[in-house]
Amino acid sequence: MPTWEPVNQRGLKMLKVENLEVRYGAITAVREVCLEVSVGEMVCLLGANGAGKTTTMLSIAGALKSTTGKITFNGRDITSFSPERVLREGIAMVPETREVFPDLTVRENLVLGGFIHRGDHRKNKAQMEEMLALFPVLRDRQDQQSGTLSGGEQQQLVIARAMMSQPRLLLLDEPSLGLAPTIVHHIYEFINKLRSTGLTILLVEQNANMALKHAERAYVLSLGRIARQGPAGEIATSSDLKALYLGS
């Protein structure tokens, strides 16, 4: 399946989350969350620590089950799908934990990312070449053990590894976490390159300025609920963004 979407698909709803509620035991982490992402869009999900951003992403990826709500992807109800089935539908997630297999080389990590197409060597080889062309540092270090890469290089590797499944929607959780500003700038250049292939992205960020500069639309989560939503430019200039971050 191509990573790009035909031009006439742009603007169609790809992902729809309706009234999502997720609990951890007695704690309700998110409630009544509704959001949509259209084909070709980059949408960001903002909010303070503990607002429910990762919980929302993990639910979409099938890794957490909701108590209430519905998640639809390209018109199909994926609410009860396992993570692997969600991946096969075309949704890949890059978790904020940025975990590589440290003893494996860069290339071996990428091979693992293509496991859902393991019977299709041609497809995996073509995607590998595409990723190595897109991320030159990975091409140069393809035989290096991944555990020895810098933080910024590991971030590129986990993004490229997720792309090996050739997703139509990429869920990116805090790609700038713990990275120096110049490296963050670099990572966003790669994200923009991926976008130019037509990839649709849902991005979680604490770095609101960075996310709002690049995304088209934003949702702001506060204490587990969507408190604001709109075009990124409007959210960036909204007077209460800081207050929402403080959870007030």
Strands (E), 146-214: 169-173, 200-205
d(CA 205, CA 226): 15
**Nearest CB to ligand ATP, comparing residues 27 and 246:** 27
Q: Which is nearer to ligand ATP, 138 or 215 (CB)?
A: 215
Nearest to 95 by CA among 70, 61, 120, 123: 61
If binding is defined by CB under 6 A, does position 31 make contact with ligand ATP? no
Q: Which of 49, 182, 209, 239 binds ligand ATP (CB under 6 A)?
A: 49
* Contact with ligand ATP (CB under 6 A) among 2, 6, 24, 122: 24
Beta strand 225-231 with 27-38: parallel, antiparallel or unpaired? unpaired
Those residues whose C-beta lies under 8 Å from the C-beta of residue 41, and which sit 6 or more positions away, are: 14, 200, 201, 216, 217
**179 near ligand ATP, judged by CB under 6 A:** no
Instruction: Tell me the site size for ligand ATP, rule CB under 6 A.
Output: 12
Please report how close the Cβ of residue 126 comes to ligand ATP at its closest, in angstroms: 34
Q: Which residues between 54 and 113 bind ligand ATP (CB under 6 A)?
A: 54-55
Closest approach of ligand ATP to the CB of residue 53, in Å: 4
**Would you say 106 or 241 has its CB closer to ligand ATP?**
241
Asked if residue 246 binds ligand ATP (CB under 6 A), the reply is no
Residue whose CB is less far from ligand ATP, 151 or 198: 151
Tokens of 182: 């110049």
Site for ligand ATP (CB under 6 A): which residue of 14, 15, 20, 29? 29
Residue 51 binds to ligand ATP (criterion: CB under 6 A)? yes
Long-range contacts of 187-196 (CB under 8 A, 24+ apart): 187/152, 187/155, 187/156, 187/159, 188/214, 190/134, 190/135, 190/156, 190/159, 191/42, 191/159, 193/134, 194/3, 194/134, 194/159, 194/163, 194/170, 195/42
Q: How far apart are the first and last CA of the chain?
A: 44
Q: Where does this chain touch ligand ATP (CB under 6 A) — which range of 5-13, 31-39, 49-57, 65-73?
A: 49-57
Q: Tokens 């300025």 map to which residue?
A: 209
Among 6, 8, 27, 75, binds ligand ATP (CB under 6 A): 27
Element (H, E) at 235: helix 232-237
Q: What is the contact mask toward ligand ATP in residues 203 to 222, using x (rule: CB under 6 A)?
A: ---x----------------
Q: For tokens 């949509």, what's the residue?
A: 36
Residues interacting with ligand ATP, by CB under 6 A? 24, 27, 29, 47, 49-55, 206
